Structure 1
């Protein structure tokens, strides 16, 4: 098999769940190669909100996405994963009881099991239907926050009613001159604690809730906003002087080549067995946001649990006939510890 690299498990996706899957596989003496279309590890966490604080990681009252990825890389490092970044998995071909994974750059990897941790697949923002929107994108209209400092002293309009809108309202309130939160109804969809914190901020001069309104039009020149106009359902217009607009209306998902691999799909997600995250195809597992089953919660911490279950389910495929005696990490330790 000249030109083909050998490993035990190929993990598709180098986001937080994919990185933790490396650790879980490593603890079970399974070698991993990791493939991701992005140029660096971190997945959606780093690509979309590297400085966004995450509040529901056990043991960390708050941790930035980029810091979480660094710690997960450090945790996986003793198991010497091989990373193939900046390339997409194009083909997944049965090879006896093994799988041949081929990427867009010509990398070929032979593995006994595959764990798909591809998050949302290929993703991009849902853009609001506004005239002249493209003129301001990347200059004063942004779909993610890469540097909080860029918003210091700015008048910021945040549109949306979910967790991203709430989290960035809370985070940027420390820096911005003024934040307007636009939502079409007074009820927000985010975590109750985040809603409470935002409503507390709305009692100060820093944050104003502009509800029930929706985006109507943009004003400005040469890519720089001067105002965002919003409207009620009855057509009443209000003009908000603003320097930046952050529309948070979710991501548009595209599974890309994954959709052609013969896996059971449900609304652009991969259906798995809740007991072990196995797909309908033996030897292929799916974990994290891309996996779905009854009662699924799209939380990083649930993805961590799924990574552990998939690793244990893959063990008898990689080490057939070898008994797996469950041990806690406190007893077992990790290499070099």
Structure 2
């Protein structure tokens, strides 16, 4: 537990793509940022859920992998020397004489004149299957996210689930794994029709094993090393799948977490903001990205980027009320030194 204290211009809550770009936009108007995120690495869902999946709607990039986008955004923010507080979340937000104090789950206190909430979908984590002793395998043989598909090269992999994430990783990992076995409780999947068609074509060709209608029943192994996954039908018929890794994809559990206690106006678990400034109902707190609501809001990364720029300029007036901000294009101003 840390008891360190910090003072800065802006506290950014969330280190996903939109939070990282908020650091850049704040830096462009000479505002310093501290960034807090519950994950151990920057990038949000792009890092935790689909780092190797392509994104097609980032301006100037016909196609870019999520991990590369995060790397570029972090490099873009780097000249402004943001301070990252990772692996912890903001538990309390308290008003101060001229702003806000955030206290994290590790006891870090950060004071600033403004706060930007860029928390995406809020706190999220995997829906874990109810398997006895699964905790001993997590992070060693059982994984809820894939960050590098090379980690599964030449391994026997069981993938459980029937949604897009499960099917997408079947299609990807079958190219590198020794064998991919797909466990689902029914023959019909919830993935995109084209993806489901590719999945069943691979099964028909013998390239993967389609284990239906089964569901996860038990794990065999010791010391965190998986030997087999036991699956069962609803009638109790069991089957043993020799495996090196299990990837259960049963969706995410998402909640606002402590944000719900900050007395912000909410609309169905989304933070209501002024679309011109991204200001919330609490003076000095702004929100951007997928966590916000306003008429016409689109949940796209590029819209979050625009919101970051508007919030940064609104915050400048709060931090420097005596110094008007003269709008400049980056081609003219360059990247300022902080």
Normalised by the length of structure 2, the TM-score is 0.79
Q: Residues 216, 74 of structure 1: CA spacing in aligned structure 2 closer, same or farther, 3 A cutoff?
A: closer
Question: Which residue number in structure 1 is paired with residue 315 of structure 2?
Answer: 314
CA deviation after TM superposition for structure 1 residue 85, in Å: 3.5
Q: Give the one of 186, 191, 194 matched to 2:188.
A: 186
Question: Which residue number in structure 2 is paired with residue 229 of structure 1?
Answer: 231
Question: Which residue number in structure 2 is paired with residue 52 of structure 1?
Answer: 52
Question: Which residue number in structure 2 is paired with residue 258 of structure 1?
Answer: 259
Q: Residues 150, 80 of structure 1: CA spacing in aligned structure 2 closer, same or farther, 3 A cutoff?
A: closer
Q: How does 1:5-154 map to 2 (within 5 A)?
A: 5-46=6-47, 48-49=48-49, 51-56=51-56, 58=58, 59=61, 61-65=63-67, 67-131=68-132, 133-134=134-135, 136-154=137-155
CA deviation after TM superposition for structure 1 residue 21, in Å: 0.7
Q: Residues 40, 176 of structure 1: CA spacing in aligned structure 2 closer, same or farther, 3 A cutoff?
A: closer
Which whole-Å CA distance do the structure 2 matches of 1:275 and 1:204 have between them? 55
Question: Which residue number in structure 1 is paired with residue 305 of structure 2?
Answer: 304
Which whole-Å CA distance do the structure 1 matches of 2:64 and 2:45 have between them? 18
Contact 1:51 1:148 in 2 (8 A): no
Contact 2:52 2:148 in 1 (8 A): no
Q: How does 1:244-255 map to 2 (within 5 A)?
A: 244-255=245-256
CA deviation after TM superposition for structure 1 residue 260, in Å: 2.0
User: Cα deviations across residues 152-199 of structure 1 (Å, max 9, x unaligned)?
Assistant: 223322223434223322321221123233444635345x77556656
Q: How does 1:279-290 map to 2 (within 5 A)?
A: 279-290=280-291
Question: Which residue number in structure 1 is paired with residue 215 of structure 2?
Answer: 215
Aligned residue for 2:281, secondary structure, equals coil
Aligned residue for 1:311, secondary structure, equals helix
Q: Residues 225, 310 of structure 1: CA spacing in aligned structure 2 closer, same or farther, 3 A cutoff?
A: farther
- Runs of 4+ in structure 1 deviating by more than 6 angstroms, as ranges, are none
Contact 1:11 1:115 in 2 (8 A): yes
**Which moved further from structure 2: 67-76 or 152-161?**
152-161
CA deviation after TM superposition for structure 1 residue 76, in Å: 0.4
Unaligned runs of 5+ in 2: none
Contact 1:56 1:301 in 2 (8 A): no
User: Cα deviations across residues 90-118 of structure 1 (Å, max 9, x unaligned)?
Assistant: 32222245222333444433322100123
Considering only aligned residues, what root-mean-square deviation do their CA atoms show, in Å? 3.4
Q: How does 1:158-177 map to 2 (within 5 A)?
A: 158-177=159-178
Aligned residue for 1:239, secondary structure, equals strand
Which whole-Å CA distance do the structure 1 matches of 2:55 and 2:77 have between them? 22
Which whole-Å CA distance do the structure 2 matches of 1:16 and 1:136 have between them? 30
Q: How many residues align?
A: 328
Contact 1:157 1:228 in 2 (8 A): no
Aligned residue for 1:93, secondary structure, equals strand
Contact 1:126 1:251 in 2 (8 A): yes
Which whole-Å CA distance do the structure 2 matches of 1:279 and 1:177 have between them? 51
Contact 1:177 1:206 in 2 (8 A): no
Unaligned runs of 5+ in 1: none
Normalised by the length of structure 1, the TM-score is 0.79
User: Cα deviations across residues 198-227 of structure 1 (Å, max 9, x unaligned)?
Assistant: 56655643335556x452413523252424
Contact 1:14 1:34 in 2 (8 A): yes
Which whole-Å CA distance do the structure 2 matches of 1:274 and 1:182 have between them? 44
